[in-house]
Amino acid sequence: MAERTFIIVKPDGVQRRKIGEIVSRFEQKGLKLVAMKMLHITNEQAQKQYACHLGKPFYNALVKFMTSGPSVAMVIEGRNAIKLARKIMGATNALDSEPGTIRGDFSIDVEHNLVHGSDSPESFQHEVAVYFTPSEMLNYDTVEKDWL
């Protein structure tokens, strides 16, 4: 059964013009793009998304960074999408990211690591609701039948 996950190309990924490269990496592994939008994340959205980190020393800097420029929010779908997307992204810290992963190839440090992805079905449900409504996401079961 297909699973969905939420991904953000962070402001540093947009600034460095890596949107296409990042989307391509997910698609090359067979994950389908279900929803996508470019936006400037608001303080309210960033605070809601990262509420689990409230009170941690990096929280304010994270919110400030995520609202510093345009980002690309997306939902991707496929078998084991959460685990697979996290493997494609690589470890959060640039020093721990393997070559061949998005972060291993492009990230500078733990803050400037180009991409965020849900780490569980629960975080997906929380995060996707911050950025998308159900009507903004495609249902490939319906769409593909119409297109083929």
Catalogue the active-site residues: 116
Distance CA 134, CA 51 (A): 22
Cα dist. 91→74, 96, 135 in Å? 20, 6, 32
Please name which of 67, 81, 92 lies closest in space to residue 33, comparing C-alpha atoms.
Answer: 81
Cα 10 from Cα 66, distance rounded (Å): 7
- The structure tokens 């460095």 sit at 16
For the chain, the straight-line distance linking the first and the last C-alpha, in angstroms and rounded, comes to 21
Cα 50 from chain centroid (whole Å): 13
